Amino acid sequence: MTTLLLLPALFASDGGIERILRLYVRAAGELAGEGGRVDVVALNDASVPADKIAPYRTPALGATIGCGRRKIACAWHTFRLARRSHRIVCGHVNLLRLAQLARRFTATGEIWLIAHGVEVWRSFTPAEQRAMRATDRILCVSDYTRRQLLQHCPGLIPSRLVVQPNALDPQFEAGVTPTPALEPGVILAVSRLVTADSYKGVDHLIAALPAIRAAVSGARLRVIGDGNDRPRLEALATEQPPGGVEFMGRVSDRALREHLASCQLFALPSRSEGFGLVYLEAMANGKPCIAADAGGAPEVVNASCGGLVPYGDVPALAQACIAALQFSWDPAKLRGRAAEFSYESFRQRLAAAW
């Protein structure tokens, strides 16, 4: 079987969607079967560097094309490669209509969609609904996302919607990282700091910090990420006593692993996480997590590995962070929770649907 992966990006940025789509490249290649082939078209990547794709390359991997945000080029390559494809797997709902247009060129006309979260938690136009109903299989990163799709897109056949949880990238686990000293009291948050993602709850963590510091001596918030919302968040932080909030900006994968290893607690009380890959990355480093009881996060974070709070409830957030900082967590159990979302489990579940 030949599969065409039509993706928004692989390496153009380092968000959770891009990271999980890299695993789809690897898994699709491993599931291609004898004589199978996997081609990749990525809209936003200027190119697909050989060194970056190498950890996800399989013998079945064929063309890997970056379109540099050029929609016409993306459409042309999609139509061209669809001629030898039995299946098009669409990596984002915004590319679904292009995939449906290319359907006529495919050998069997089969279209799959990966549904990540907030992008499908909404009402759809009539044209979008027709495209969704014509999709043969929808892989949902969480049961919450599956329920949202069924609610917002009447007429979908429930059996076509399969829950396919995200997984921890083996490349993240395999990164060589020194073991930094634990920094007691450090609460780490990792997020894009852009206005469109203000629902991530970093501002709520800043607001909760005085109560946390009153109960836990030396507690402080460390924020990794950057974007156009950073000045607003920095302004909120200036209202705190000095030294309470540290903005680190963007960091390398190695530095991220070091921060995850050295913090005492990870917190991201987001309202709209489709899954929450970063929670797995924290747990893989033996760290408990605080998340909002919203979206797909409760399917990842539970009482065994952290705590859930009502979104936007700053006093509850402060109390959850205090409790987590004062509790003696077993790092092995936290890593065990992350291991439940291993790449091998991801590939096996995908194989059952494939």
Q: What is the dihedral of CA 33, 92, 11, 291, to 10 degrees?
A: -110
Specify whether the CB–CB gap between 193 and 233 falls below 8 A. Answer: yes
Order of strands across the sheet with 265-268?
245-249, 220-224, 186-190, 265-268, 289-292, 306-309
Is residue 248 domain-shared with residue 118, that is, in the same domain? no
Distance CA 2, CA 28 (A): 10
Is residue 21 domain-shared with residue 151, that is, in the same domain? yes
Is residue 256 domain-shared with residue 325, that is, in the same domain? yes
Specify whether the CB–CB gap between 269 and 291 falls below 8 A. Answer: yes
Distance CA 307, CA 289 (A): 7
Is residue 247 domain-shared with residue 288, that is, in the same domain? yes
Residue 347 included in any domain:
no
pTM reported for the whole predicted model: 0.93
Per-residue pLDDT of the chain (354 residues; tens, 9 = 90+): 899 999 999 999 878 899 999 999 999 999 999 999 999 999 999 999 999 999 999 999 999 999 999 999 999 999 999 998 999 999 999 999 999 999 887 766 799 999 999 999 999 999 999 999 999 999 999 999 999 999 999 999 999 999 999 999 998 765 545 577 889 999 999 999 999 999 999 999 999 999 999 999 999 999 999 999 999 999 999 988 888 999 999 998 889 999 999 999 999 999 999 999 999 999 999 999 999 999 999 999 999 999 999 999 999 999 999 999 999 999 999 999 999 999 999 999 999 999
Enclosing domain of residue 263: 173-339
Whose tokens are 């206005």? That residue is 195
Count of structural domains within the chain: 2
Query: Which of 134, 164, 194 is the C-terminal boundary of a domain?
Result: 164
Query: Which of 115, 137, 164 is the C-terminal boundary of a domain?
Result: 164
Q: Where are the beta strands (DSSP E) in the chain?
A: 2-7, 37-42, 61-66, 87-90, 110-115, 137-140, 161-163, 186-190, 220-224, 245-249, 265-268, 289-292, 306-309
Residue 325 included in any domain:
yes
Closest CA to 32 of 50, 51, 5: 5
Is residue 139 domain-shared with residue 278, that is, in the same domain? no
pLDDT at site 60: 97
Is residue 73 domain-shared with residue 135, that is, in the same domain? yes
**Entry field: residues in the chain:** 354
Distance CA 110, CA 73 (A): 22
Residue 258 included in any domain:
yes
350: left (phi over 0), alpha (psi -120 to 50) or beta: alpha
Distance CA 68, CA 81 (A): 17
Write down the H helix ranges in 36-113: 50-53, 71-82, 96-102
pLDDT at site 254: 86
Is residue 245 domain-shared with residue 293, that is, in the same domain? yes
- The CATH number for 24's domain is 3.40.50.2000
pLDDT at site 173: 67
Query: Which of 120, 144, 164 is the C-terminal boundary of a domain?
Result: 164
Per-residue pLDDT reduced to its tens digit, 103-155 = 887 766 799 999 999 999 999 999 999 999 999 999 999 999 999 999 999 99
**Complete DSSP assignment for 318-343:** HHHHHHHHHS---HHHHHHHHHTT-H
Is residue 153 domain-shared with residue 285, that is, in the same domain? no
pLDDT at site 107: 62
Residue 286 included in any domain:
yes
Residue 67 included in any domain:
yes
Residue 220 included in any domain:
yes
